[in-house]
């Protein structure tokens, strides 16, 4: 995974795609920092976790910029997210997410918002490639 990103970085340099190059450099820096923190070469799962974190940061920023009608910044962040998403496994569909939520609800039988923590803990273990804020919203809707 790390090699693929390095290759893409070289290709962006050669093609003169400054935007993609800057995004990949930021990603490479984040990966390097994580490698230093972990004190070992990153596994593919750890690389994916770093990329997901970068996407989440950009999504959060997008939300803030939208509040202040900063459309240029929002567009740039969305482009960055699109570039980063290339390196992530395909996200689960809404139908697949709802199916897993249904399974967890059938097993844990939550009755109120007090059970949200336990439900989310179980869902975090089962759902690896989905927007967990969406999952949280779906669980909250079902519990209320």
In this prediction, residue 65 carries a pLDDT of 96
Domain shared by 49 and 113, yes or no: no
- Please indicate, yes or no, whether residues 81 and 112 belong to a single structural domain of this protein: no
65 and 118, same structural domain?
no
Q: Are residues 78 and 8 in the same domain?
A: yes
Same domain, 80 and 130: no
d(CA 73, CA 39): 35
* Residue 40, pLDDT score: 95
pLDDT score of 28 = 96
Domain boundary among 60, 85, 110: 85
Q: How many CA atoms lie within 13 A of 11 on its CB side?
A: 7
- Give the pLDDT of residue 120: 95
The SS3 assignment for 70 reads coil
* pLDDT < 50 stretches in the chain: none
Are 112 and 48 contained in the same domain? no
The number of folded domains in the chain is 2
Whether residues 71 and 115 share a domain: the answer is no
pLDDT per residue as tens digits for the range 63-102:
999 999 999 999 999 999 999 999 999 889 999 999 999 9
- In a shared domain, residues 68 and 130: no
Domain, as residue range, for 103: 94-143
| Exposure b/e, 32-49, CB count within 10 A at least 16 = b | eeebeeeeeebeeebbbe
Task: Find out whether 33 and 42 touch, Cβ atoms under 8 Å.
Answer: no
Q: What is the pTM of this model?
A: 0.78
> CB–CB of 140/120 below 8 Å?
no
């Amino acid at each position: 995974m790390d090699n693929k990103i390095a290759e893409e970085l070289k290709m962006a340099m050669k093609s003169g795609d400054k935007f993609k190059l800057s995004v990949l450099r930021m990603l490479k820096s984040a990966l390097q920092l994580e490698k230093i923190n972990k004190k070992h070469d990153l596994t593919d799962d750890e690389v994916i976790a770093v990329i997901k974190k970068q996407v989440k940061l950009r999504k959060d920023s997008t939300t803030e910029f939208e509040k202040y009608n900063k459309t240029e910044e929002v567009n740039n962040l969305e482009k960055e997210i699109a570039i980063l998403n290339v390196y992530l496994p395909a996200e689960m569909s809404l139908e697949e997410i709802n199916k897993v939520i249904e399974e967890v609800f059938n097993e844990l039988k939550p009755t109120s918002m007090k059970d949200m923590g336990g439900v989310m803990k179980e869902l975090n273990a089962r759902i690896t490639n989905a927007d967990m804020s969406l999952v949280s919203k779906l669980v909250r809707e079902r519990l209320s």
